[in-house]
Amino acid sequence: MTIQQSLEAKIKKAFFDLYSIELPSVEFQATRKEFEGDITVVLFPMLRQVKMNPEKLGEDLGVYLTKNVSEVAKFNVVKGFLNIVIENAYYLDFFKNIKDNSKYGFAEPKNDSKAVMVEFSSPNTNKPLHLGHVRNNLLGNAVAEIIKASGKKVYKTQIINDRGIHICKSMLAWNKFGNGETPESTGIKGDKFVGNYYVKFDQEYKKQITKLISEGKSEDEAKKEAPILLEAQEMLQQWESGNPKTKTLWETMNNWVYAGFEETYKKLGVTFDKNYYESNTYLLGKDVVAEGLEKGVFFRKEDGSVWIDLTEDGLDEKIVLRSDGTAVYMTQDIGTAIQRVKDYPDIGGMVYTVGNEQDYHFKVLFLILKKLGYAWADQLFHLSYGMVDLPSGKMKSREGTVVDADDLIADMAQTAKELSEELGKLDGYNKAEKKTLYNTIGLGALKYYILKVDPKKRILFNPEESVDFQGNTGPFIQYTFARIQSILRKDNASNYTISSDVDMHFKEKELIKQLQLYPEVIQNAAENYSPALVANYTYDLVKAYNSFYQSVPILAEIEEGKREFRVQLTKKVGEVIQSAFGLLGIEVPERM
């Protein structure tokens, strides 16, 4: 039980004892810096229950709490606010209880709770992962880890878009211009290799359009009649009819891409429990539509297409089956959701990590699943996020202007290298150690810069700003962790016991109060699907530690009990930094 929960119960009892009135709730806030106190009770809402002067109400409650609650040392009242000072012994006891808990902040897994499936990444097999995928992967992976830390079982999954005209464009371009080359023969990573042919297709397509226009065709006619596009459409028909040669080429090129994806996922620290493939799922959902037609959830139009009318729900009509009987994306997503629950019967909810351009799609999907009668449909969430922009402007895959994820990761390591050398921070490191550290700092900077922002907000990503060793950045937090490890190497805290009569400095108390928030931050981050809460909590913890570090001596403290306590406190802060950054998928270096 937190001090806030304990105080709420005591304040309700005080209110009843003093005024014979049941108080429905108590509002707390952090005490403002200019006043003495550890926690503040907002008195104004209580005046609805009892008509009296707020200062008198605060005085009555303060006196009662001081007499009847051992944790309350003293109080002061400022207008409508009761500022409560908590005994140092409370914080000391709290710290003793958590200092040896390696899983501090993490909730015990609940056997009776339903699992959550988190979908993220969802790449196409015609191009490598890019900057937009980086935000998607970092968000999805962090949310999955945070939900797991909150005490729930989690499955991480992706659906790979491995079929369609865009895939055939890469295949056709390789057939025409590849001369049998492979990723192995060229030394080019598989996904990048295939992506180059997607760009090559677009270049040839544009040349043919220009030629057709010069021959008298309109632009619309040229776009539709370009020979290379017609060939790609024919290849798609061959794939759909199961043509062996086309299928073999499709499997070969997709496998090149998967090998490339795996390399990028490894760099990002991302893993999946199960992959779904659109080539397997695109037929799912058609049977569900047939059942929905019988139940009256869907209706058929004159041309034979099947729709759902959501106008009463503030949306519009949505097609779920074309007139020729083929499925649309919505049909596929309905079927895939149902299939996932069949595959994992303990799923109680799903989180879809998809950009905000798909907001409407997911509103419709979730509503259809509810209307079909699936109880778990109430526990579906679209983790909608804003795009990531660079100062150079918008990215386009087919034109080859996308910021490749691997290139971005390499650039971040290079930026970390340049800044570290400029600051002279890595004296005494050998070449291999420096390379590892540059990757750790660069990737940490990238991940933190993206994850510290609320998912809904659009990001303008500035690589140099992200690698700054000052301010709310990954490297600043990593540097503080490394400083902590340096202190612990000089004075190992493992055998120390905490004395009950340590005279705590107020900076130590502030630091313990910050540590106390960690379990609640994890729960809030899980409930709100927001890694930003964990990221910014970690920054606040680091700021509190650096303020403590600058205000009191640690290893130079003469009094043994104080020194041992400060070393223990330092150690715990380091553990929580590492734990929180672990949830975000960020490594912390022992030396820096």
Out of 12-21, 126-135, 492-501, 514-523, least confident range = 492-501
In angstroms, the CA 129 to CA 136 distance is 10
For residue 234, which of 222, 216, 223, 246 has the smallest C-alpha distance? 246
Residue 393 pLDDT exceeds 70? no
The angle at the Cα of 72, spanning 47 to 25, to the nearest 5 degrees, equals 30
Residue 401 pLDDT exceeds 80? no
CB 554 within 8 A of CB 545: no
Residue 569 pLDDT exceeds 80? yes
Structure tokens given for 21: 């009135």
Please report which confidence band the pLDDT of residue 493 belongs to, taking 50, 70 and 90 as the band edges.
Answer: low
Partnered with residue 42 across adjacent β-strands are 27, 81
In angstroms, the CA 241 to CA 548 distance is 69
Residue 115 pLDDT exceeds 60? yes
The angle at the Cα of 17, spanning 15 to 19, to the nearest 5 degrees, equals 60
CB 143 within 8 A of CB 383: yes
Three-state DSSP at 194 gives helix
| Average of per-residue pLDDT across 12-32 | 95
Quote the distance between the C-alpha of residue 212 and its chain's center.
47
Structure tokens given for 111: 């056997």
| The predicted structure's pLDDT at residue 470 | 87
| Average of per-residue pLDDT across 561-576 | 94
Residue 332 pLDDT exceeds 90? yes
Partnered with residue 27 across adjacent β-strands are 42
For residue 575, which of 519, 532, 515 has the smallest C-alpha distance? 515
Look up residue 265 and give its amino acid. Answer: Y
Please report which confidence band the pLDDT of residue 111 belongs to, taking 50, 70 and 90 as the band edges.
Answer: confident
Out of 65-74, 130-139, 156-165, 397-406, least confident range = 397-406
| Average of per-residue pLDDT across 366-375 | 96
Question: What string of H, E and C letters represents the secondary structure of 398-462?
Answer: CCCCCCEHHHHHHHHHHHHHHHHHHHCCCCCCCHHHHHHHHHHHHHHHHHHHHHCCCCCCCEECC
CB 92 within 8 A of CB 498: yes
Please report which confidence band the pLDDT of residue 492 belongs to, taking 50, 70 and 90 as the band edges.
Answer: low
430 or 330, higher pLDDT: 330
For residue 63, which of 84, 33, 46 has the smallest C-alpha distance? 84
Residue 398 pLDDT exceeds 50? no
Instruction: Write the pLDDT tens digit of every residue in 205-253.
Output: 999 999 999 999 999 999 999 999 999 999 999 999 999 999 999 999 9
Residue 494 pLDDT exceeds 70? no
Residue 368 pLDDT exceeds 50? yes
Domains along the chain?
Answer: 3-86 (3.30.1360.70), 115-283+344-389 (3.40.50.620), 405-583 (1.10.730.10)
Partnered with residue 155 across adjacent β-strands are 117
| Average of per-residue pLDDT across 509-528 | 96
- Integer CA distances (angstroms), 518 to 104, 353, 540, in order: 8, 25, 11
Partnered with residue 115 across adjacent β-strands are 347
Residue 372 pLDDT exceeds 90? yes
Listed in sequence order, the residues at least 6 apart from 328 whose beta carbon sits closer than 8 Å to its beta carbon are 319, 320, 321, 322
| The predicted structure's pLDDT at residue 64 | 97
For residue 85, which of 68, 66, 67, 61 has the smallest C-alpha distance? 66
Mean pLDDT rounded to a whole number for the chain: 93
Residue 455 pLDDT exceeds 60? yes
497 or 13, higher pLDDT: 13
User: CA dihedral in degrees (466, 467, 469, 475; nearest 10)?
Assistant: 90
CB 573 within 8 A of CB 98: no
Partnered with residue 41 across adjacent β-strands are 28, 82
| Average of per-residue pLDDT across 393-411 | 68
Residue 132 pLDDT exceeds 50? yes
Rg (CA), the chain: 30
- Does the reported pTM lie above 0.85? yes
| The predicted structure's pLDDT at residue 371 | 96
| Average of per-residue pLDDT across 102-121 | 92
In angstroms, the CA 432 to CA 416 distance is 15
- Integer CA distances (angstroms), 303 to 322, 323, 324, 374, in order: 9, 6, 9, 29
Structure tokens given for 318: 């949505």
In angstroms, the CA 346 to CA 361 distance is 25
392, with CB counted inside 10 A (0-12, 13-18, 19+), is exposed
